[in-house]
């Protein structure tokens, strides 16, 4: 039993399932070459810019993709055409799917996972925690006290990092879900609220709101979505499910008259709502998810029944804010960082928008580790309507990514000279120059001088102590040729902590030397963070929002960068790449 929706199965879902096969095979101690074949296929799929479902529908030969052989091609076709994957189903009869979750714990490989499951019946991370509490794990051969302690830490890390989804990952599931929910009977309004709407870098769960008259069929439609793994709750107007990758979705169904109030309430943040409610009480008003109500004389607002008191707003979100004497605020601002006060005085920032962006100043090509040629990247940028772009391949020292030396850089310029005239976009000669351990740069001064834009960043010695790391980066920023410090803290969300770094000192140095800081828009980085760009703005340090694209597809990351910039209160003037080409050139030439 499956729906037509499966026909458009997402690449991520296919990759996810193949990756699960690899995990389960590994736990079964299958032939390592077989395991690797699945992993290679997953890597290929993750880098694909086209939809596999489309390719299957158009009868294309999937085995022409690298890493995809006859078997896997057959499985992909099976998934696209039937929504089923018999091999995975068979594997699930042998190994419970949750056992593979144990592999996400630091220090647990397939052998250990197998042992925990076979000998202690541990199938989930929660089971493992119970077994640790009960002292059963230490008794297992090859585990011992030290391992047990490490596992506790691993569980803690797992919970802290893995339970929240990166916004970019959540989007891959939310977008198809919204499309599906839009097809539910009688839907009048449909929105995602919560941290997702505020575009927070990670989301704990997805809060879906629907306005309609008849809730039953909408709830039914929701819980029968194909990617639902588990239904937690399916009440009349309130439901909760967990999607296959472990992402929880809460649904609220409401009548149209209170939709605006619910949207406001469930968008949060909690802190924003708390402050709003306090403010309302001073005006004799009570705000709830049902609307804004006048508090009747002598009534304790905490004891008001839903719907009690005269209702002054609720149908629209604007109306809710207006009833409280405030103008509507973009969701990205609703973190109680001063936005309510600013709205009260009509001093909200005029936030930067995607359409303000005139160019992308960090991207890679086949000259280093990018997937597309410079010309292809340039045409894609032109299609996005940009006036300018910078090609910033890696420098020599980043050899794993095919970094360029001085001679190769000159070769690259010649290539650009060759086709530039055919295009309607300015290609800035640039390079992502590696910052060496002592803060010096991985390119000679002569060539640094010749570049239109000098971008510098760290790719090695990420674990220096704070003082040394800060000094290193400050040294780099102080070099007179440098224009932009890229991905300044080096964090990878849910994967790698930022360097031990005094960001304030780096921002001060950037200001002193007229260097801009990057907001790297890759949803796995978002570096600098929203809080840090807020601080950059306060200090008057210009911010560049760049995608660091390694393929034409990645150019769409700009949207994530702009969202974080908005969360950091940036206006167009705070963002360097909203400037016209001539203004940008003036800034680059330090005129
Ligand atoms: P998340 O899911 O952890 O990324 O963060 P949020 O902000 O999406 O939080 P969530 O899903 O727990 O709740 C969604 C919104 O609902 C939250 O931002 C504010 C609102 N909300 C939830 N619980 C309460 C509450 O007890 N009081 C008030 N005023 N608002 C609440
Ligand atoms: Ca949420
Ligand atoms: Ca929620
Ligand atoms: Zn980089």
| The two three-digit tokens of residue 308, written as one number | 């009690």
In the prediction, which pLDDT does 162 show? Answer: 63
The pairing of strands 311-313 and 359-360 is unpaired
Question: Does residue 30 have a pLDDT over 80?
Answer: yes
By C-alpha distance, which of 568, 567, 585 is closest to 576?
Answer: 585
Question: Does residue 372 have a pLDDT over 50?
Answer: yes
pLDDT band at 176 (very low <50, low <70, confident <90, very high): very high
**First-to-final CA distance of the chain:** 67
273 Cβ closer than 6 Å to some ligand 1 atom = yes
DSSP 79-97: HHHHS--HHHHHHHHHS-G
Architecture of domain 354-588: Alpha-Beta Barrel (3.20)
Quickly name the fold that domain 11-161 has: DNA polymerase; domain 1 (1.10.150)
Q: How far is the CA of 486 from the centre of ligand 4 (A)?
A: 7
Average pLDDT, the chain: 93
205 Cβ closer than 6 Å to some ligand 1 atom = yes
pLDDT band at 413 (very low <50, low <70, confident <90, very high): very high
Ligand nearest to the CA of 492: 4
Hey, is 131 helix, strand or coil?
helix
Q: How far is the CA of 194 from the centre of ligand 1 (A)?
A: 6
Q: What are 339-343's contacts with CB under 8 Å, separation 24+?
A: 339/272, 340/272, 340/275, 340/276, 340/279
The pairing of strands 426-434 and 388-391 is parallel
Range of lowest pLDDT (97-101, 180-184, 331-335, 458-462): 97-101
194 Cβ closer than 6 Å to some ligand 1 atom = yes
| Residues less than 5 Å from ion ligand 4, measured at CB | 457
Question: Does residue 8 have a pLDDT over 90?
Answer: no
Instruction: Express each pLDDT in 263-302 by its tens digit.
Output: 999 999 999 999 999 999 999 999 999 999 999 988 888 8
| Rg of the Cα atoms in the chain | 27
Question: Does residue 256 have a pLDDT over 90?
Answer: yes
pTM for the whole structure = 0.79
Read off the pLDDT of each residue in 394-414 and give the average, rounded to a whole number: 94
Q: How far is the CA of 270 from the centre of ligand 4 (A)?
A: 35
Span 165-254: which CATH code? 3.30.460.10
Question: Does residue 141 have a pLDDT over 90?
Answer: no
Question: Does residue 434 have a pLDDT over 50?
Answer: yes
Q: Which residue has the higher pLDDT, 159 or 292?
A: 292
Strand order in the sheet with 453-457: 359-360, 388-391, 426-434, 453-457, 484-485, 516-520, 543-546
By C-alpha distance, which of 404, 461, 399 is closest to 435?
Answer: 461
In the prediction, which pLDDT does 161 show? Answer: 62
Report yes or no: 363 and 401 within 8 Å, Cβ to Cβ.
no
268 Cβ closer than 6 Å to some ligand 1 atom = yes
pLDDT band at 5 (very low <50, low <70, confident <90, very high): very low
Ligand nearest to the CA of 250: 3
For residues 301 and 288, what is the distance between their CA atoms, to the nearest angstrom?
Answer: 11
Hey, is 166 helix, strand or coil?
strand
In the prediction, which pLDDT does 202 show? Answer: 96
Q: What is the H or E stretch that residue 321 is in? A: helix 317-323
Question: Does residue 53 have a pLDDT over 60?
Answer: yes
pLDDT band at 46 (very low <50, low <70, confident <90, very high): confident
pLDDT band at 441 (very low <50, low <70, confident <90, very high): very high
Candidates 3.40.50.80, 3.30.300.160, 3.30.210.10, 3.40.50.300; CATH matching 259-344: 3.30.210.10
State which of 159, 270, 276, 280 you would mutate to test the pocket of ligand 1, scoring each by most atoms of that ligand within 8 A of its C-beta. 270
Q: What is the H or E stretch that residue 207 is in? A: strand 206-211
Residue nearest to atom 30 of ligand 1 (CA): 270
Hey, is 540 helix, strand or coil?
coil
Domain spans of the chain, in order of start: 11-161, 165-254, 259-344, 354-588
264 Cβ closer than 6 Å to some ligand 1 atom = no
Give the number of the atom of ligand 1 that is nearest the alpha carbon of residue 205.
2
Question: Does residue 6 have a pLDDT over 80?
Answer: no
pLDDT band at 4 (very low <50, low <70, confident <90, very high): very low
Which of the residue ranges 62-71, 94-103, 142-151, 561-570 has the most confident prediction, judged by mean pLDDT?
561-570
Give the number of the atom of ligand 1 that is nearest the alpha carbon of residue 200.
4
């Amino acid at each position: 039993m499956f729906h037509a929706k499966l026909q458009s199965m997402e690449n991520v879902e296919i990759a996810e399932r193949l990756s699960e096969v690899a995990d389960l095979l590994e736990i079964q101690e299958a032939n390592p070459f077989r395991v690797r074949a699945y992993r290679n296929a997953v890597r290929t799929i993750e880098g694909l810019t086209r939809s596999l479902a489309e390719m299957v529908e158009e009868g294309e030969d999937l085995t022409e993709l690298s890493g995809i052989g006859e078997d896997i091609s057959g499985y992909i076709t099976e998934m696209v055409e039937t929504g089923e994957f018999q091999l995975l189903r068979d594997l699930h009869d042998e190994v419970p799917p949750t056992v593979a979750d144990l592999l996400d714990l630091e220090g647990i490989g397939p052998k250990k996972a197998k042992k925990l499951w076979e000998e202690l019946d541990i199938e989930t991370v929660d089971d493992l925690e119970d077994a640790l509490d009960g002292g059963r794990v230490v008794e297992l051969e090859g585990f011992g006290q030290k391992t047990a302690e490490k596992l506790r830490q691993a569980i803690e890390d797992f919970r802290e990092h893995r339970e929240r989804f990166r916004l970019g990952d959540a989007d891959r599931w939310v977008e198809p879900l919204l499309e599906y929910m839009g097809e539910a009977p009688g839907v009048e309004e449909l929105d995602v609220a919560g941290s997702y709407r505020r575009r927070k870098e990670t989301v704990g769960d997805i809060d879906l709101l629907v306005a309609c008259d008849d809730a039953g069929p909408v709830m039914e439609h929701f819980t029968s979505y194909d990617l639902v793994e588990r239904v937690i709750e399916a009440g009349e107007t309130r439901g909760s499910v967990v999607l296959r990758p472990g992402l929880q979705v809460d649904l609220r169904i409401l009548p149209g008259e209170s939709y605006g109030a619910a949207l406001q309430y469930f968008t949060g943040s909690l802190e924003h709502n708390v402050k709003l409610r306090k403010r309302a009480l001073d005006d004799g008003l009570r705000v709830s998810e049902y609307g804004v109500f006048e508090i009747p004389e002598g009534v304790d607002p905490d004891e008001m029944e839903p719907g009690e008191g005269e209702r002054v707003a609720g149908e629209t979100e604007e109306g809710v804010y207006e009833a409280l004497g405030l103008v509507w605020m973009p969701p990205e601002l609703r973190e109680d960082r001063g936005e309510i006060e600013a709205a009260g005085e009509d001093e909200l920032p005029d936030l930067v928008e995607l359409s303000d962006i005139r160019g992308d100043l960090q991207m890679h090509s086949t000259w280093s580790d990018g997937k597309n040629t410079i010309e292809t990247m340039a045409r894609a940028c032109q299609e996005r309507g940009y006036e300018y772009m910078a090609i910033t391949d890696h420098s020599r020292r980043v050899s794993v990514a095919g970094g360029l030396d001085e001679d190769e850089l000159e070769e690259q310029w010649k290539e650009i000279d060759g086709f530039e005239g055919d295009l309607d976009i300015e290609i800035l000669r640039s390079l992502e120059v590696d910052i060496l351990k002592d803060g010096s740069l991985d390119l000679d001064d002569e060539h640094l001088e010749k570049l239109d834009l000098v971008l510098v960043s760290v790719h090695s010695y990420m674990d220096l102590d704070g003082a040394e790391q800060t000094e290193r980066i400050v040294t780099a920023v102080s070099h007179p040729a440098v224009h932009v410090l890229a991905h300044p803290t080096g964090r990878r969300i849910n994967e790698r902590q930022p360097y031990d770094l005094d960001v304030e000192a780096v921002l001060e140095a950037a200001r002193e030397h007229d260097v801009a800081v990057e907001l790297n828009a890759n949803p796995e980085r978002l570096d600098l963070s929203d809080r840090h760009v807020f601080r950059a703005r306060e200090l008057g340090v210009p911010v560049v929002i760049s995608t660091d694209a390694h393929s034409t597809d990645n150019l769409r990351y700009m949207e994530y960068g702009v969202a974080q910039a908005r969360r950091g209160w940036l206006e167009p003037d705070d963002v360097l790449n909203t400037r016209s080409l001539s203004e940008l050139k003036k800034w680059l030439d330090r005129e």
